[in-house]
Amino acid sequence: MPHSAIRMRSAMELNEAVAASETLVQRLLDGVAEIGRDPPGITRDAYGPGESRAHALLAETARGMGMEVSVDAGANLSMVWRAADPAGPPVIIGSHLDSVVQAGNFDGAAGVIAGMGVVAALQAAGVRPRHDIEVLALRCEEAVWFGLGLIGSRCLLGRLPEGALELRHARTGLTLAESIAACGGDPSKLGAPLRVPATIGAYLEAHIEQAPQLIEAGSPIGICLANPGNLRHPHIRITGEEAHTGLPHRFRRDAALAGADLSLSLERLWLAEEAQGRPMAVTIGRFFTPADRHSLTAVSGTFEMSLDLRAYSPDHLAALEPALHRVVAEVEARRGVTIDLGPRSAAAPGPMDPGLIEALAAAAGQGVPRLNSPGSHDANNFAASGVPTGMIMVRNRNGSHNPHEAMDTPDLMAAVGVMAEWLATR
């Protein structure tokens, strides 16, 4: 028998147990899909009925597996398989259960359910952990609901920005504090970390890929190297001057053209940075003239848009902020408008732990791709807090944040197998 931190009878038994846990994994994937059904896609609203019903399904399943279930002050769901005699800090496997509106079923949810599959496989293989294994369903990872993302992990690790509890839910209008309280949390306790990062042994997250890198590579899984951090301005407002459509160009202060100019200027910045070997991304998600004022026969005096800037290193992300302000000033001068960037939020980049990269790659076997994720995830906050963090990306056709996500369950089970083997040999 191999030496291991967790006793097991054989690698073959572990592989068989992972295969057997696919039934549980598929049942949970189908269950959260039914909860979120919102044709043509899936909607599980954060701190709302969709996310909460998914939490309830996972909690019921965890109790049936002999796991301890609790809800913290941020309303995150913790499901712990206790070690008989813990020899070290817990290992957390986590992700989120909320979605954007009418999205696919797998972004986030697959990672939480993979954690349940890992515990089920280890239990079936006769393994008893020497470390507590905790599956976390973190609240409100998606920024669409409050204009701020990664909220559950921010709550857990004391990383909520000032004023966050007063942000309002896009559907209910409740503040974040009211929303947390309504789901069993306690916002009065969120001024400090709910967990001391040094007391967490490791954080693992499985997540569907959001660019077709694994489709291209023909691999079911990949080992993540880093997640980008982001700088976000969800409510940019450009103010010019309303005018008749025949007004000559030299007299115009056209807010709509200024919005287009700002967008294309940021794209030029993006391409220039990538040409210098500094990967990043620019996304304009909201882009419109106000519906109550726009007209076919009027130059728009106001324009609204959003901006998400992403980069993989803290220094690069920090350098992009003054670059953004330079671009804004240039567009203002060129177009005769004022640009109010409005509220700002940021998430730190998430470089994965080198030791975990190597350990997960060894468990995955020869030739597994190593790749950056284009998305920011709860893993970012754990990595930024000093917790050893590792991620496994799972093959997925058609990207994410749309109804056409197409992850195959056997590919997710490959990620379950890698995490189970790492835990069994740790």
Which residues define the annotated binding site for Zn(2+)?
A: 96, 107, 142, 207, 401
- What distances in angstroms separate CA 216 from CA 211, 274, 284, 362, 397, one per listed residue? 10, 21, 26, 22, 10
Q: Please give the C-alpha separations between residue 100 and each of 45, 268, 367, in angstroms, as whole numbers.
A: 7, 28, 33
Give the three-state DSSP class for 334: helix
| DSSP string computed for 129-166 | -SS-EEEEEES---TTTTS---HHHHHHHT-PPTTGGG
| 98 in Cβ contact with 142 (< 8 Å) | yes
Structure tokens at 104: 């696919």
Cα gap 413→7, rounded to integer Å: 22
Q: What is the DSSP letter of 276?
A: T
Measured CA angle at 103 (ends 38, 18), to 5 deg: 105
Is the CB of residue 352 less than 8 Å from the CB of residue 383? yes
Which residue, 382, 335, 423, is CA-closest to 128? 423
- Dihedral angle of Cα 206, 217, 316, 190, to the nearest 10 degrees: -10
- As a whole number of angstroms, the distance between CA 338 and CA 343 comes to 16
Known binding site: residues?
A: 96, 107, 142, 207, 401
**CA atoms of 209 and 224, how far apart (whole Å):** 10
Helix (H, G, I), strand (E, B) or coil at 83: coil
Q: Which residues pair with 370 in a beta bridge?
A: 223
DSSP 121: H
Cis peptide bond N-terminal to 212, omega within 30: no
Candidates 417, 402, 312; CA nearest to 363 is: 417
**Residue 235, both tokens:** 């409510």
Identify which of 408, 417, 392 has the alpha carbon closest to the alpha carbon of residue 18.
417
- Find all residues with CB under 8 Å of 250, minimum gap 6, and list them: none
Give residue 328's identity as a one-letter amino acid code.
Answer: V
> How many Å apart are CA 73 and CA 138, to the nearest integer?
12
